[in-house]
Amino acid sequence: MKLMRLGEPGSERPAVRLDDGRVIDVSSVVADYDAAFLGGDGIEALRERLAKDTGDFPSVDLGRVRVGAPVVRPGHIIAIGLNYADHAKEAGMEIPSEPIIFSKAPSSVCGPNDTVLIPRASEKTDWEVELGVIIGATARYLADEAAAMAHVAGYCVINDVSERSFQLERSGQWMKGKSAETFCPMGPWLVTRDEVPEPQNLALKLSVSGQAMQDGRTDTMIFGVAHLVWYLSQFMVLEPGDAISTGTPPGVGAGQKPPRFLRPGDVMELEVEGLGQQRQEVAQA
């Protein structure tokens, strides 16, 4: 299934995009796509309900409603740095022997087509198209990678917007450059795990104002989804609704020659194969 949340910030209603392209409002049977829904039997119960009949759910015209992030604000957003060897090379950094992890503030989450705001004093706001993983079951000290995938609810597109001077030149941890408001567009859908049998075989693309910047595939990730879920569970408890942003392929602004960063009026367009598209206009905070 493709799960969506529609409406103004703070008032989103759960919806489903059907295989025929229609979008239906399912708020009559689902309160929201939150930790309780994802960690319980919410996905399976909704699937069974829709298999009976979809005709009694109202259709939604996406041209007349805002698309929000596909899950309620995650309790934790864990991001993975330098997880594509060619991106590590363009950044002038060594390929990591273990995953590099950092956090993005939950307040950075926004909808897939919301305006991205360049922070005050920023000169180096950058883009990163990424495969997002949404946790669907509590994971702690998983035994191995084989146990990991049962703890995944599904996948979505994430733009890991980054302010490079805050991240790399202002001392301290990367979180500082990753957490400004609107720095984590998510969606448009949460695609459930059963519809993405091989997350390590997806294309990722991003353009800025019509110029292609990133074009990669998840099969070049250093650490795949199963490894990341297992690995993170050795250091923290992953809870339903948590998000993992799994790293970006080469082509970020900091890697251009000369570097090229976002400016007000730019438009980012990005997609991950099978997971939908995002479009964000850029403005000054």
Q: Domains of the chain: which residue ranges?
A: 2-64, 77-284
Q: What is the model's pLDDT at position 8? A: 97
Of the ranges 15-24, 57-66, 81-90, 263-272, which one carries the lowest mean pLDDT score?
Answer: 81-90
Is residue 217 within 8 Å of 203, Cβ to Cβ? yes
Q: What is the model's pLDDT at position 173? A: 86
Q: What is the model's pLDDT at position 212? A: 98
Tell me the pLDDT band of 92, cut-offs 50, 70 and 90.
confident
pLDDT, tens only, 44-53:
999 999 999 9
Sequence letter at residue 46: L
Mean pLDDT over each residue of the chain, to the nearest integer: 96
Q: What is the model's pLDDT at position 85? A: 85
Q: What is the model's pLDDT at position 198? A: 96
Mean pLDDT (whole number) for 236-263: 97
Fold of 77-284: Fumarylacetoacetate hydrolase; domain 2 (3.90.850)
Mean pLDDT (whole number) for 219-242: 97
Judge whether residue 200 has pLDDT over 80: yes
pLDDT, tens only, 174-187:
999 999 999 999 99
Is residue 133 within 8 Å of 243, Cβ to Cβ? yes
pLDDT, tens only, 275-285:
999 999 999 99
